[in-house]
């Protein structure tokens, strides 16, 4: 075999090998891209966080807020009713219930957590709320039942001693546990718009806070400003026609 033919064969082998290497590297690169396109995210602190649901996220979603991770303790409730939005508990009362949010403010007036008809209804959030902790005024409703269930025990807050001894409310959303400090308790009728969820400005919100503070039956000495998020609890009362007992608390 001549030297020329040998060189042609050698260069052909080199070309084929180089082409193989190039193609293989490109495939490997694509494989890595696919491999990391979906990742497992378990909480925001560490991979051993047992209080978080394992979620799939793309790489672009890795920098998530803690609100994006649903606490595992709500999994059974969410399986029962996907409109579960959190849980409310008040010490020294019977109030220890899941909270739901429907498509309106009517459904849960007469539907239980199984979404079946019930005169007791459920504790539910105003449908205009988002349900996350950044709502400026989260509003929860519940019936004042004769047997003391649902929101009936809110009437205990008409007593100043009970109020000062139990001024902390636990209302937890799906993502975190949050405590709220009561700053206003009053009785009103539905002509007063205490269920506002939108405000035109900080000044508008400040005026609203001042108005609900001024209506309070007791002076709590709790400072609240337009920087605060508040929780509003509402139930029926009978001192006035179409009356409502209203409790406001700020997030702490």
Domain borders along the chain are 1-35, 36-69, 75-251
**DSSP track, 3-69:** HHHHHHHHHHHHHHHHHHHHHHHHHHHHHHHHHTTEEEE--SS-TT-TTB--EEEEGGG-S--GGGS
Question: What is d(CA 136, CA 198) in angstroms, rounded to the nearest whole number?
Answer: 8
Residue 81: its pLDDT value, please? 97
Quote the pLDDT of residue 196.
Answer: 96
Instruction: Catalogue the long-range contacts made by 140-144 (C-beta closer than 8 Å, 24 or more residues apart).
Output: 140/88, 140/99, 140/171, 140/231, 140/232, 140/233, 140/234, 141/105, 141/108, 141/109, 141/234, 141/235, 142/95, 142/97, 142/233, 142/234, 142/235, 143/109, 143/235, 143/236, 144/235, 144/236, 144/237, 144/245
What pLDDT score does 161 carry? Answer: 97
| Tens-digit pLDDT profile for residues 116-141 | 999 999 999 999 998 865 789 999 99
For the chain, which ranges sit under pLDDT 50?
A: 14, 16-66
Q: How many CB atoms lie within 10 A of CB 70?
A: 17
The confidence score (pLDDT) of residue 131 equals: 80
pLDDT at residue 34, as a whole number: 25
pTM over the 0.85 mark: no
Q: What is the fold of 75-251?
A: Sortase; Chain: A; (2.40.260)
């Amino acid at each position: 075999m001549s030297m020329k033919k040998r060189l042609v064969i050698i260069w052909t082998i080199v070309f084929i090998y180089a082409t193989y290497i190039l193609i293989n590297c490109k495939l490997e690169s694509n494989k890595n891209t696919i491999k990391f396109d979906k990742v497992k995210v378990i909480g925001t602190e560490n991979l051993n966080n047992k209080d978080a649901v394992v979620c799939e996220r793309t790489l672009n979603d890795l920098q998530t807020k803690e609100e994006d991770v649903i606490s595992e303790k709500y999994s059974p409730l969410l399986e029962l009713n996907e409109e579960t939005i959190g849980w409310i508990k008040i010490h020294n009362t019977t109030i220890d219930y899941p909270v739901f949010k429907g498509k309106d403010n009517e459904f849960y007036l007469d539907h239980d957590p199984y979404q079946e008809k019930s005169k007791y209804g459920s504790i539910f959030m105003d449908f205009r709320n988002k349900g996350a902790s950044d709502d400026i005024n989260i509003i929860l409703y519940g019936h004042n039942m004769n047997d003391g269930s649902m929101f009936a025990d809110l009437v205990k807050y008409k007593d100043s001693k009970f109020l000062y001894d139990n001024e902390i409310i636990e209302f937890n959303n799906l993502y975190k546990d949050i405590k709220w400090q009561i700053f206003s308790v009053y009785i009103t009728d539905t002509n007063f718009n205490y269920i506002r969820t939108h405000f035109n400005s900080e000044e508008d919100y400040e005026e609203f806070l001042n108005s609900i503070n001024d209506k309070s039956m007791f002076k709590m000495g709790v400072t609240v400003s337009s920087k605060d998020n508040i929780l509003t609890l509402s139930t029926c009362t009978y001192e006035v026609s179409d009356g409502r007992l209203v409790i406001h608390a700020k997030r702490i």
